[in-house]
Structures are given as C-alpha cells and as structure tokens.
C-alpha cells in the first residue's frame, strides 16, 4: 500500500446484454468523467496484459493495432503494447501501471464485457481491467467475430478513460457505441483518447 491515500473507484462500464440498459451523459470528447492516465509526455504506452484464451487473442491484437492507428495528421496520447498477462483470468486482478485483459465464464450477470479502472487524485487512472464474459460469448447470439471485436475494442478503451459515443443502439461507426453493426468494431476518427 502506498503512503498516498488512494481512493479506489471501480467504475464498471459494461457492454450490457440488454442494449440500452445504461443511460449516460456523453461529452463531445467522449472522455469518461475526465479520467486519464497520468503521464509526463505524449504518447504514453499502456501495457495490455494478455490473460486470454486462444480464441480471444486475435481480437486483442486487432484492437491494440486499431487504437494505435490514427488518421493522417493527428497524434494519439495513448498507445498500447500487448505484454504477458500477470493475473489469473477468472480473478482478473488489476496490476499497477497496466490494463489486464481477461476472458472467463463470469456468469449470467448482464454484461458481455466489463472495464474497471482504479484512480488516484480524482482523475488519474493507476490500473485497469477489461473482462470478456464467455458465459454470453459461448451462446449463438454473441459467438461471432463482430461481437467479440466490438466488445474487446470498447472495454480496453474504457481503461484509457473513454466513454461511449452512443448507448441508444444506433451505429456511430465506432466500437464506442452500443450497436451490433459490423461497422462498429473499430475506433473511428471521432473518438479521441484522453
């Protein structure tokens, strides 16, 4: 434990099974309440700990590549690097300075994916987790490449400090919406990382 009193806020934003179960105010920048990783320079490279079964590894690789790409003439403050995982996927414990990305059968709890961040100083993210719930992904309704890529892309982005662009089910052509459109599996030019 550090000497600094650390407020632990577990903000759980889920890709909910019942689309539209979550209503949220979304700012134009899509920042999640101003949460961001403290850094001394841009870009900052966030380590994504890979605690995934073989069936999920390609989706993490694609999401990392997509988030590291940016439109010509722009820069990104957060890059990602996939590293070996440091936790049991079932528990998916948060490790300081990283986002641990996990998949397991987490149960019929209403979420396909769940991002958790821990903050200090009111807005600085210190660690995070992104969980993919195989309880749902092992069913016909969600066991497809588009759903898996959408949720992976969205949950790791929540650990950057990004919020949803839309929760009404319409496609915004980004993984940060709640659409099931095949066009909603990647970030888009409207999504800016904090």
Per-residue pLDDT of the chain (194 residues; tens, 9 = 90+): 333 333 333 334 444 333 333 323 222 357 889 999 999 888 999 999 999 999 999 999 999 999 999 777 777 889 999 999 999 999 999 999 999 999 999 999 999 999 999 999 999 999 999 999 999 999 999 999 999 999 999 999 999 999 988 888 888 888 998 887 877 888 874 455 55
Q: Residue 101: its pLDDT value, please? A: 99
166 lies in some domain: no
Q: Confirm whether 178 is domain-assigned.
A: no
Residue 3 included in any domain: no
Is residue 5, in this structure, part of any structural domain at all? no
Got the DSSP string for 18-77?
Answer: STT-------TT-BSTT-EE--SSSSEEEEEEEE--HHHHHHHHHHHHHHH---TT---S
Structural domain count of the chain: 1
Inside any domain, residue 64: yes
Residue 95: give its domain's CATH number. 3.40.390
pLDDT at residue 123, as a whole number? 95
Residue 84 covered by a domain: yes
DSSP 87-134: S-TTT----TTEEEEEEE---SSSEEEEEEEEEETTTEEEEEEEEEEH
pLDDT reported for residue 114: 98
Range of the domain at 125: 13-158
Percent of the chain with pLDDT over 70: 82
Please tell me the predicted confidence (pLDDT) of residue 5: 30
Query: pTM score, two decimals?
Result: 0.82
| Position 1 in a domain | no
Is residue 188 one of the residues assigned to a domain?
Answer: no
């Amino acid at each position: 434990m550090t000497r600094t009193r650390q407020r632990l806020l577990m903000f759980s934003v889920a890709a909910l099974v019942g689309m539209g179960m979550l209503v949220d105010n979304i700012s134009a920048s899509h920042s999640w309440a101003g949460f961001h990783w403290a850094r001394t320079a841009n870009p900052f490279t966030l380590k994504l700990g890979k605690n995934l079964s073989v069936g999920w590894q390609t989706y993490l690789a694609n999401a990392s590549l997509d988030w590291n790409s940016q439109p010509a003439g722009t820069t990104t403050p957060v890059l990602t690097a996939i590293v070996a995982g440091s936790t049991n996927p079932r528990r998916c414990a948060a490790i300081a300075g990283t986002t641990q990305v996990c998949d397991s059968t987490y149960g019929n709890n209403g979420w396909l994916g769940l991002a958790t961040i821990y903050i200090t100083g009111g807005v600085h993210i210190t660690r995070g987790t992104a969980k993919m719930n195989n309880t749902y992904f092992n069913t016909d309704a969600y066991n497809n490449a588009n759903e898996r890529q959408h949720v992976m892309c969205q949950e790791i982005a929540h650990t950057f400090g990004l919020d949803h662009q839309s929760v009404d089910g319409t496609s915004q052509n980004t993984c940060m919406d709640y659409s099931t459109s095949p066009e909603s599996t990647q970030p888009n030019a409207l999504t800016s990382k904090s």
